[in-house]
Structure 1
């Protein structure tokens, strides 16, 4: 992906970045997080825990600054994520911060993300 394409995608509103994330993740069967002796986490304005996730390596690395300086991008297999991680997040009350761009993200419950990913997989 060239810089122009990268900037066009990363500058979209959070809801459109979420749609891109769901489609891209269903297509590639992979998603990305940031990792450094544990997965990068953040908090919502209400103080609840969020797991940030990205559709591609480049977008995750773009956010490896400030509190995530020193983190590296790490891939996650979509099916394992859907089967093991999303149910655990739902159980623990942890939501997801989808496609953070160093400004904002789509904050989505794990159950909703699971539904959307299943629907996208059914369409692909």
Structure 2
């Protein structure tokens, strides 16, 4: 189910922590999250302290990032199962963090929260269990 433009605008106005919460709920709902890839693999961002893989809750948000120097990138979905079993251990082994739901030019809160893959995995797993109890 695609996200409507007015919903995209509303979500883009959320702060980094609210976007993190949105991503958790949306990934549990859809069963997938999104990254950007290029000919070298997953796109990486560098924060002051960490090398990070950016993730988004929907194709539309990932594609918003794929402009300018990132215009050659393509959005790729990763199922929750793939994230749990392949991506989390792989990122942990490589020492990479995850930047959750950065915005292309949204102001001071555009960067998104930086978390360790295991932390994101734990939050997703907890929300999956909570949603099954409903």
| Shorter-normalised TM range | over 0.9
Out of 112, 117, 123, the position equivalent to 1:110 is: 117
Structure 1's consecutive aligned runs of 4 or more residues displaced over 3 angstroms after TM superposition are none
Instruction: Select the residue among 76, 88, 111 that pairs with 2:90.
Output: 88
Cα distance in 1 for partners of 2:46, 2:69 equals 12
Find the residue that maps to 1:22 and give its secondary structure. Answer: helix
TM-score by structure 2 length? 0.87
In 2, the alpha carbon distance for the partners of 1:34 and 1:11 equals: 22
Give unmatched runs, 5+ long, in structure 2: 105-109
When normalised by structure 1's length, the TM-score is: 0.94
Find the aligned partners of 2:77 and 2:101 in 1 and give their Cα distance. Answer: 14
The Cα shift of 1:44 comes to 1.1
Q: For residue 67 of structure 1, report the CA deviation from its aligned partner.
A: 2.8
In 1, distance between residues paired with 2:101 and 2:68? 17
Measure, in 2, the Cα distance between the counterparts of 1:115 and 1:54.
Answer: 17
The 2-side partners of 1:87 and 1:50 are apart by 14
What is the RMSD of the two structures over their aligned residues, measured on CA atoms? 1.1
Match for 1:41 among 41, 44, 61? 44
Which residues of structure 1 form unaligned runs of 5+? Answer: none
Aligned length: 123
